[in-house]
């Protein structure tokens, strides 16, 4: 099966890829990677510090110097995972769509991809598009669900695996949804990484099931409720800090 993985340029994406790759030995895999989630905007300093910390972790994991530029990081990552990796702005047009059309994947899987998929791209893979969302749907649609769960004082968080059937954000039919305990004494990043360690084996089973059973013949839209959460603001991050919570 030709499998196109859509990921993002961050340490959590690396963690997911590193864990997923050995579980997909029989697949013909290609990876497309975005540089950020959403449109360019002013990023709060705390999130810039988090991104810098993640890049340091990634370079250390790949045994690269701290001064290594992104092409060097991407090349090392591609060699480690034994898959071609290409940086794109998205897959709806331009280079990303050209690669999508050329590769003609049977299945497309999104893990932290930074661009919203449109019908033009969604229609290409014959077995559809699956998304691994790092939050419990439909309650936490959008970005950084683990952050918002901590901020809201939840006792649990989790992940959802769902189909992408249109341009809605985290609104497709849920395939699997799992709850994990949330520890307010632990930082955001460590719990996010724990989430992907738990979620990836489940995702691999869903991929295998899709290959064996094919695409569902009908869809039931069941995640349009809930709330969409965007990137935390300076105020949100200040409140997070005041509660004694840590990003990393």
Residue 165 lies in a domain: yes
Residue 134 lies in a domain: yes
Check residue 36 and give its pLDDT. 80
Dist CA 65 CA 59 (whole Å): 7
**Has residue 221 got a pLDDT over 80?**
no
Asked whether the beta carbons of 117 and 92 are under 8 A apart, the reply is yes
Check residue 172 and give its pLDDT. 93
Which domain, by its residues, includes 167? 2-242
Check residue 217 and give its pLDDT. 74
Mean pLDDT score, 132-139: 97
pLDDT range class, residue 42, cuts 50, 70, 90: confident
**Has residue 222 got a pLDDT over 70?**
no
Asked whether the beta carbons of 151 and 237 are under 8 A apart, the reply is no
User: Among 36-50, 83-97, 126-140, which is the least confidently predicted range?
Assistant: 36-50
Dist CA 242 CA 216 (whole Å): 46
Check residue 225 and give its pLDDT. 73
User: pTM, whole model, 2 decimals?
Assistant: 0.94
Query: Residue 119's domain is classified under what CATH number?
Result: 3.40.50.170
Question: What are 41-44's contacts with CB under 8 Å, separation 24+?
Answer: 41/231, 43/231, 44/232, 44/233, 44/234, 44/237
Dist CA 175 CA 206 (whole Å): 8
Model confidence pLDDT, tens digit, residues 48-92: 999 999 999 999 999 999 999 999 999 999 999 999 999 999 999
Residue 247 lies in a domain: no
**Has residue 223 got a pLDDT over 90?**
no
Check residue 189 and give its pLDDT. 98
Longest CA–CA span in the chain (Å) reads 50
**Has residue 2 got a pLDDT over 90?**
yes
Dist CA 221 CA 34 (whole Å): 27
Model confidence pLDDT, tens digit, residues 98-120: 999 999 999 999 999 999 999 99
The total number of structural domains in the chain stands at 1
Mean pLDDT score, 153-176: 96
Residue 88 lies in a domain: yes
Check residue 40 and give its pLDDT. 54
pLDDT range class, residue 39, cuts 50, 70, 90: low
pLDDT range class, residue 224, cuts 50, 70, 90: low
């Amino acid at each position: 099966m030709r499998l196109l993985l859509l990921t993002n340029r961050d340490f959590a994406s690396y963690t997911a890829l590193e864990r997923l790759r050995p579980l997909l030995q029989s697949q013909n895999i290609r990876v497309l990677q975005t540089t950020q989630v959403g449109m360019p905007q002013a990023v709060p300093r705390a999130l810039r510090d988090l991104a810098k910390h993640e890049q340091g972790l990634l370079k250390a994991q790949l045994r690269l110097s701290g001064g290594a530029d992104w092409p060097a990081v991407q090349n090392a990552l591609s060699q480690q995972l034994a898959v071609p990796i290409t940086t794109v702005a998205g897959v709806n047009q331009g280079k990303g769509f050209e690669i999508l059309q050329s590769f003609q994947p049977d299945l497309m899987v999104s893990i932290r991809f930074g661009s919203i998929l449109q019908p033009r791209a969604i229609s290409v893979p014959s077995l559809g598009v699956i998304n691994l969302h790092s939050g419990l749907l439909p309650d936490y649609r959008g970005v950084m669900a683990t952050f918002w769960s901590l901020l809201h004082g939840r006792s649990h968080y989790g992940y959802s695996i769902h189909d992408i059937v249109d341009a809605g954000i985290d609104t497709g039919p849920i395939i699997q949804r799992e709850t994990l305990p949330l520890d307010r004494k632990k930082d955001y990043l460590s719990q996010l990484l724990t989430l992907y360690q738990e979620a990836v084996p489940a995702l691999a089973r869903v991929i295998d099931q899709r290959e064996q059973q094919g695409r569902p013949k009908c869809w039931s839209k069941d995640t349009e409720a809930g709330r969409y959460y965007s990137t935390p603001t300076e105020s949100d991050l200040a409140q997070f800090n005041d509660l004694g919570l840590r990003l990393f």
